[in-house]
Every structure is written in C-alpha cells, then in structure tokens.
Amino acid sequence: MVEKSAYDEAATSGLYEKPTSLQGKYDNVRRFWEDEVICSFLGPYLERLVARWHKLRILDIGCGSGDGYEMLLSVTRRNVGFSQPDCKLLTPQLLDSYKGIDLNQNLIAQADAIYGGLGNVSFQVADFNDFASVVGKDPPYDLYFATYGTFSHNSAEQTINLLSRIARHGRDGSIIVCDWLGRYCYEWQTLWTDDLGQVKTIDYVISYIYSQEDRKADLSSFPLHLLCKQEVLAILEESSKAAGVEIELRELFDRSIFVGRHTDTKQYNPHCQPLRQTLNYLLEPNIRTDLATLLINYVPKEGFSELNGFYGRLAQGWNSLVTYAMELLDDLDRGGKGTPPPVAEAQPQVLRQVMQDMERIAKTAADLKVVGPRASIIEPQLAYRLRQLEMDMQEARGCGHGLVAILELHK
C-alpha cells in the first residue's frame, strides 16, 4: 500500500524517533501545543470515565509508535491544589488495558520497543477497518482513541461502518475520539472547494520531517480525505443510525490552524509562512526568537468570504498579541517606567485576556533574578497565550490541520 511505503520511509529516516524539540515528528509544537490542545478538550471526559470505572480500557486506533499512550498519561486533573505534587489523571495502575493497533509493522515495532514491556500494554499489526478481528472477544473499551488524521485514511462509507461497529462494541458512556484533516486548512488553500458534493482528498507527503534539501527527493504520497464540519455531522448521524446507538457529539474543534506541519513546507500553499519553525524556537529554553517573524500575512482566497473572514479575525488577534508582546519588551528595555501599551476595550474578550496575561508575565519575569527571563519565561508563555487564542477563536469549520471530534455513547 502507498500509505505503508510513506510511513516506512518516515520510520526508517530516524526522524520519527523520540524525543526531539526543534524538528522532527516530536517537535516542541507537537508536544506543547497540539498534544496539549487535545488533552485540554479530552481531559474532563477522561476524568468522568476514571470516576465512573476507576480502571480504564483503552483502544488506540492507528497508534503509530504508541504516541497515544504517552499523551493520555500526560493528561492532568482539574482543580488540583498547587501544593499537590502529583496531578496526573491517568497512571499505569489506572489502566486495565491499553491496546494499540496500526497497519504499519515498523511503527508497531517502535511501540513495542518503547512500551511493550508494560504488562497492561499491547500492540498489534492490524487494519482498524477489520474491526471484528481487532477486538475479537475483547470486552468493551472505555476510550476508543484515534488522533492526528487517522480517520482521514477512510472514505465516509468506511468511517460510518467503523464508527457503527465501535458504537455497538462500546458500553454506555464510552468515549470516542476521531480526527480528520480539515477541508479548509490554510496549509492546502489551493485545494479549497465549496462543493461539498465533491469528495476531496489530498496527495499527502510526510515531507515536514525532512530538511528543505531532502524534501526535493521523490518521497511517497498517499491520499487522505479532507472534511469540514457538515461532513463530520453527516457521518455521525449515519453512524448512529447504522449502529442503532446514540452517538452524541460532545466536542468538535479545529487543531493547528496556523501552525500545522505543512505551513513550513509550503507544499500545498505558497503563501504559508514558516510559523511552526518560529514557534518551535519560541518554546525552546535559552533561545531568543525574532517575534516579528510570528506576524501573519494571511492571503485570502477569492470566493470564500466566510472563511476569509474567520482567518482574517484570527490573524488580526494573533498579530495584535504578538505586537503587544513586542511593545511590552520595548517597555521593559526602557526600565518599565512608562505606561504599558493599553489594551483596547474594543478587542474581543479572549484577546484582551491573553494580552493582560502577557503584561503580568512580562513584568513578573523582569523582576525575577533569573538568567534569560525573556527566552525561558516570556517567550514560552507567549506561545501558550497564542495557543489559547487559537482554542478560543476556532469555530470547528475544518480550518485546522486537524478537525477533532469527541463522542459519547448512550446505550
């Protein structure tokens, strides 16, 4: 299969290995932005599952090299006191079973090498669409977990079939996480179409883990389906009917709107800027970043006024926050004696909040007797405020690299 060739190339390149920070699959943006956005939305539902069942059974669908295990065990509990040393929601002891399945043997071998020695963790080479053989006589799982575009490997019909089987296999209260590539992601703006009757795919290349020079090589591509909100809602409705089980949509959100993998490659949109690379530096300790390179010059596409309006609002909010941070740094260079730049009341509430956060962070960091407060405190916090801005302003249109759904079964 073409997918297998592409993932084999990636796995054998060494750039899928853990950990990395500024480049590769496990860069800073992946670990401190994308993973944490997913965990932030999913956390409350996991907390409820733990309270209800105490020990959880998890099926990681399209597990790759076991990324889901590490991500899920990083989820933190809400409302934890500052004095408590342990805030993790899940621990290995709270897992009754964690099973990962993936079609790629090399990635499963990596997962086995990292986590295979844990008694309640197992990995299996399998096609997740062959769901009956995947679960066999397994009891229901509490969490069916598929992230980072896993469901985009499927057609709508395949997804309906898979989701309906999952719904029948799960139990009352089971949670399903689904992830598709967004139809209207800026990274592939050249592929946008307003004809939802047209099944839209992208010839996807995992070129982002390679250097710019190595991207010129003849890398394998494979088709992935691009979906928007309306298409996801239609799939969920048909899946629920086919299963005879209520599948409730609890969350739908865009992930990685301006920071997806292919913003840096420009492979599908020549207007993209290397914002992910800049954010990786922003999140790296002891490195100062040129904040001006974070400013977005969004180039609209004719005929898509609503989408251009959304992207324009997000870009304006993003640029306002970055500019505000630059002004705060200038003020600190003047001794912080002047009047801080004002936060206009006309700005959206979320933007005013993150700007006020940045003012407090900058002033506090400047007063601390630490080496490099800008690189190690102010810049990472700016990245987290930009992440919050994306989370609060996203509209679940399919404008992110990922369009993520959190579903709950009612039986």
What letter represents residue 350's amino acid?
A: V
Low-confidence winner among 80-84, 96-100, 134-138, 274-278 (lowest mean pLDDT)? 80-84
pLDDT number for residue 338: 47
DSSP E strand boundaries for 72-127 = 95-102, 121-125
pLDDT number for residue 369: 80
Give the mean pLDDT of 24-39. 92
For 287-320, how does the pLDDT look when each residue is reduced to its tens digit (9 = 90+)? 999 999 999 999 999 999 999 999 999 999 999 9
Return the CATH fold of 2-258+399-410: Rossmann fold (3.40.50)
pLDDT number for residue 123: 95
- Per DSSP, 401 falls in state S
For 109-126, how does the pLDDT look when each residue is reduced to its tens digit (9 = 90+)? 999 999 988 889 999 999
For 136-185, how does the pLDDT look when each residue is reduced to its tens digit (9 = 90+)? 999 999 999 999 999 999 999 999 999 999 999 999 999 999 999 999 99
User: For the chain, which residues make up each domain, given as ranges?
Assistant: 2-258+399-410, 288-393
pTM of the model: 0.92
Determine what percent of the chain is predicted with pLDDT higher than 90.
Answer: 74
Assign 221 a pLDDT band (cuts: 50, 70, 90). Answer: confident
For 47-76, how does the pLDDT look when each residue is reduced to its tens digit (9 = 90+)? 999 999 989 999 999 999 999 999 999 999
| Count helices and strands in the chain by DSSP H and E runs | 14, 9
Q: What residues contact residue 114 under an 8 Å CB cut-off, 6+ apart?
A: 18, 65, 66
Assign 370 a pLDDT band (cuts: 50, 70, 90). Answer: confident
Give the mean pLDDT of 252-261. 96
> If we measure between CA atoms, which residue out of 382, 194, 195 comes closest to residue 279?
382
Determine what percent of the chain is predicted with pLDDT higher than 70.
Answer: 92
**H-state helical runs in 205-251:** 229-243
